Amino acid sequence: MSRKVFSLFSPDIGIDLGTANILVYVRDHGIITNEPSVVALNQKTGQVVAIGHAAKQMVGRTPGHITIIRPLIEGVISDFEITQEMLSYFIKKMNRPRISLFSRPRIVIDVPSGITEVERRAVRDAAKSSGAREVFLVEEPMAASIGVRMPITEPVGNMIIDLGGGTTDIAVISMGGIVSSVNLKVAGDRLNNDIINYARDEFKLLLGEKTAEDLKIAIGSALKLEESLESAVRGRDLVTGLPREVMMTDSDAREAMSKSIHTIVEGVKTVIESTPPELVSDIMHRGITMVGGGSYLRKIDTLIEQETKIPTRIAEDPMTAVVRGCGIILENLKDFRGVLMEREEEVSPQ
């Protein structure tokens, strides 16, 4: 009875709790939030100044007492209290029109494959403390596969690569379970750092994180392009300490990111090598699907296809695949209960 009463006041929510972005799906409404996983904190007062887009705009532009915090590092919670604040903000923002004593939603939230029990408990506790009545966890590659409508419950091999901000999750899924997987701490953030380090070493130029990310988007690629790209980059000269502008090309960006991209490709090969041959045969026929913001990197799918000899495609709207999967699970919870990790028992209101 109490479950029915709560459902009247609290729509179910799916959350893609990413290192770079947090996306929120509300049952019967679709995706309503896609904002950076960034929080601005006033160190003098201990108060949160801004969250999401507003905080991202402050990166590199704040006074000393305002700190920009990314509470998730490499896919896991690094700052519990700030993560709780961030989740509470988005849940209240979603629920504001009918906020009440009974507004305690059920939440499906994704976690990287292979995380520890301590890390899983941190996610559950943060969601509960943010107002969740009941918390369900699902592994990222599983949610992404559901989001792109792969037949994960059938006895066929489905291979997915989730190239996100903090981690790259690579998995083969069959009959509702992960057969083989690798979770790499190499993804979009590492590529940004690669560009920062390259500019420092080759051009003696200090770049900010946002500048490096913009450069990656503007000229980054995994393979040589038909037409060369270049972009003006502004930073601080490490010799004179004064501002300076240089031109960087797609070749420079490719060289900067080459080691990290190679690591991702080797991770894909490792998963294939540990997959049963029958499923490999399925994957060769069905292909590899890429999701996540990192899959927008030019020719990353072509490189993986060349290296594995398996057709590779980028899913439609790859950044929202995981949260769409969480949404599908919410809409069909009974059918997908078997793909969930252990769930937190229902929390009764105080």
CA dist 89 and 326 (Å) reads 19
Averaged over 112-117, what is the pLDDT? 85
- Distance between CA 179 and CA 50 in Å, rounded? 41
Reply yes or no on whether the pLDDT at 9 is more than 70.
no
40: nearest Cα among 32, 29, 30, 48: 48
- Domain of 271, CATH number, reads 3.30.420.40
- With a cut of 50, say whether residue 2 has pLDDT above it: no
The answer to whether residue 345 is domain-embedded is no
Helices 188-203 and 209-219, packing angle to 10 deg:
100
Answer whether residue 349 is part of any domain: no
Domain co-membership, 167 together with 240 = no
218, 226, 224, 160: which is closest to 192 by C-alpha? Answer: 218
Report the pLDDT value the prediction gives residue 342, as an integer from 0 to 100: 63
Residue 226 has pLDDT above 90, yes or no: yes
pLDDT of residue 309: 96
Name the token pair of 188: 């979009």
- 348 token code pair: 């009764």
**Taking 70 as the threshold, does the pLDDT of residue 164 lie above it?**
yes
Residue 288 inside a domain? The answer is yes
DSSP letter, residue 132: -
For 144-169, what is the mean pLDDT?
Answer: 94
Task: Assess whether pLDDT exceeds 70 at residue 51.
Answer: yes
What is the structure's pLDDT at 102?
A: 46
Query: Is residue 178 located within the same domain as residue 210?
Result: no
Mean pLDDT of 110-122: 87
| 3 pLDDT higher than 80 | no
What does the pLDDT read at residue 132?
A: 85
CA distance 190 to 108: 28
pLDDT of 91 reads 80
Q: Do 246 and 131 have their domain in common?
A: no
Is position 348 within any domain? no
User: pLDDT-based confidence at 232, cuts 50/70/90?
Assistant: very high
> Based on the domain organization, do 122 and 271 belong to the same domain?
no
The model's pLDDT over 58-87, given as tens digits with 9 standing for 90+, comes to 887 888 889 998 888 877 888 888 888 888
Average pLDDT, the chain: 89
Contact (CB, 8 A) for 119 and 137: no
**Residues 208, 309 within the same domain:** no
Distance CA 215, CA 201 (A): 16
Q: Do the domain assignments include residue 166?
A: yes
Query: Considering only CA atoms, which of 125, 51, 135, 133 is closest in space to residue 100?
Result: 133
pTM: 0.88
Question: Above 80 in pLDDT, residue 104?
Answer: no
Q: Is the pLDDT of residue 350 over 70?
A: no
For residue 291, name the pLDDT band (cuts at 50, 70, 90): very high
Average pLDDT over residues 85-114: 74
Contact at 8 Å (CB) between 80 and 102?
no
Tell whether 151 is covered by a domain: no
274 and 171 co-located in one domain: yes
What percentage of the chain reaches a pLDDT higher than 70?
92
| 26 located within any domain | yes
Which domain, by its residues, includes 296?
A: 157-186+258-317
Report the C-alpha gap between 333 and 288 in whole angstroms: 26
Question: Do 215 and 301 share a structural domain?
Answer: no
Has residue 184 got a pLDDT over 90?
yes
Q: State the first-to-last Cα distance of the chain, in angstroms, to the nearest integer.
A: 16
Tokens 């240089």 correspond to: 246
Nearest to 323 by CA among 159, 147, 160: 147
Which residue shows structure tokens 């509300």? 26
Compare 350 and 60 and report the one with higher pLDDT. 60
For residues 64 and 87, is the Cβ–Cβ distance under 8 A?
no
Q: Which of 335, 334, 312, 316 is nearest to 324 (CA)?
A: 316
Q: Which of 20-34, 253-267, 302-316 has the lowest mean pLDDT?
A: 20-34
The verdict on residue 72 lying in a domain is yes
- The Cα 238–Cα 284 span in angstroms is 49
Residues 216 and 297 in one domain: no
pLDDT of res. 346 = 42
The CATH number linked to 234 is 3.90.640.10
Lowest mean pLDDT among 127-136, 186-195, 259-268: 127-136
User: What's the CA gap between 110 and 108, in Å, rounded?
Assistant: 7
Instruction: Examine the domain organization and report whether 162 and 304 are in the same domain.
Output: yes
Q: Are 146 and 136 in contact (CB under 8 A)?
A: no
Per the structure, the count of domains in the chain is 3
Task: Determine the pLDDT at residue 345.
Answer: 44
Q: Tell me: pLDDT of 95 over 70.
A: no
pLDDT at 169 over 70: yes
Examine the domain organization and report whether 66 and 27 are in the same domain: yes
89 & 235 share domain = no
CA distances from 125 to 52, 122, 306 (A): 21, 5, 43
Claim to verify: residue 33 and residue 135 sit in the same structural domain: yes
